[in-house]
Amino acid sequence: MSKRRIGVYPGTFDPITNGHLDIIQRASRMLDTLVVGVARNAGKGPLFSTDERLQMVREEVAALDKNGCVIEVRAFDTLLMHFAIENNASVIIRGLRAVSDFEYEFQMAGMNARLNPKIETMFLMASERHQFISSRFVKEIGRLGGDITQFVSPRVNKHLAERFALDDDISKRMQTLKQ
């Protein structure tokens, strides 16, 4: 009997983009189980709550061709290495978009290897059409009324549009109260 290959793909996913989905789908070809770890990261000031991000990631994963891989979505607020160990992972999946990502990811992989040399870090280069997509840019473009439909799924686009409409409504109310 062969050993099951379990991987963890961590991120904030605020929101999940087509680039993230590309990495998830490609990782699913190499693993038996992939745990998508949604980091709570309150310090980053996410646009969406952890529960909202979990819901979005689960919706997106449900629509993917999983290549026979079991994909689970879980929140975490621990050290990544602890999360990987809790999930019996032997590999951490990291996506690279550009050379600028490499230095940070290389340092993190080195630290993780020191914490637990039994868990490997696997880097997947973003597909050419997804190399420039970042959640930060998607939020900025969407907030300013730009078209983000090529960067996120229709479901995520709808979540973003609703959030930006709510934020605009709250902002208008605050202006009215100040007057």
The catalytic position among 5, 26, 74, 97 is 97
The catalytic position among 44, 82, 136, 173 is 44
Close Cβ partners of 41 (under 8 Å, ≥ 6 residues apart): 12, 14, 77
Among this protein's residues, is 173 annotated catalytic?
Answer: no
Q: Which of 123, 129, 128 is nearest to 151 (CA)?
A: 129
The catalytic position among 28, 53, 135, 139 is 135
Among this protein's residues, is 114 annotated catalytic?
Answer: no
For residue 136, give the amino acid letter: R
Among this protein's residues, is 44 annotated catalytic?
Answer: yes
Among this protein's residues, is 20 annotated catalytic?
Answer: yes
The catalytic position among 20, 94, 130, 139 is 20
Query: What residues are labeled active site?
Result: 20, 44, 97, 135
